[in-house]
Amino acid sequence: MRLLFLGDVVGSSGRAAVYDAIPKLRARYDLDFLIVNGENAAGGFGITEKIFNELIDAGADVVTLGNHAFDQKDTLVYIERCPQLLRPLNFPKGTPGKGAGLFKAKNGADVLVMNAMGRVFMSEIDCPFRAVDHEVTACKLKRGADAIFLDMHAEATSEKQSMAYFMDGRVSAVVGTHTHAPTADDRVLPNGTAYLSDAGMCGDYNSVLGMTTDEPINRFITKIPRGRFEPSEGPGSVAGFAVEIDDKTGLATDCSPLRSGPGLRAIEPPFWTTGA
């Protein structure tokens, strides 16, 4: 099974890059399943129903969120009618929407997708470890699902790595999001779970985490806000995480970053490009 995840989409630059890339990536790599993190898609803060639908229409199977899940207030309403839109599952009980779902891949496999949010240097929230453990216990790999994927939206690398080892052998892949900076630690853990600390962002890399540089620099120097953060609108790049999953075990056999566009060194998954 070929699964691809695309990191945090930031603003109009990220949206344009992703809308253009998804159909091409699905065709080039004959993807079975594609997930996108869309929590910064609407002006850098949250996601609208229109943008969500555009991501699905472009070819995404699931859109995950994070700490900005409800920055666009209408998300509180429309998320209930969008089963392919997942907010962190460890939000307090009663929060609209859901944090996990079982979805059908192109090859017929049932894929459990989860979105969890970390607590280190983040807002107070329920325990992500207990929340993820609950979902995986209820829908075990190769019993309830053919593949299991976790988007771990967190600030601290230590928390992301701890989650990955906690889930090693129980899920197909754990990928970190939120920091918008792609990392180089892609690997398959000892018990078969693919891992990457952060997939990076889809957006303009001539920026500070996808935002124009002036206001972030100003706040570091003066500690006085002069305006709001605005997404940088230069040419967008795409960054993500490719995972090859064994159909028999549901565990990863290989993984690799996938990156293209200005500001990034191009990387293609070698296990998908040989002979392409």
Residues that are catalytic: 68
The H helix count followed by the E strand count for the chain is: 7, 14
142: left (phi over 0), alpha (psi -120 to 50) or beta: left
Rounded distance, CA 167 to CA 265, Å? 30
Rounded distance, CA 148 to CA 116, Å? 13
Rounded distance, CA 150 to CA 132, Å? 9
Rounded distance, CA 68 to CA 153, Å? 11
- HEC states along 135-182? HHHHCCECCCECEEEEEEECCCHHHHHHHHHHHECCECEEEEECCCCC
What is the DSSP pairing of strand 173-177 with strand 147-153?
Answer: parallel
Residue 171 and residue 136 in contact, taking contact as beta carbons nearer than 8 Å: yes
Cβ neighbours for 248, distance < 8 A, ≥ 6 positions apart: none
Please give the single-letter amino acid code of residue 232: S
Burial class of residue 23, CB neighbours in 10 A (0-12, 13-18, 19+): exposed
Strand, coil or helix: 82:
coil
Place of tokens 């779970």: 193
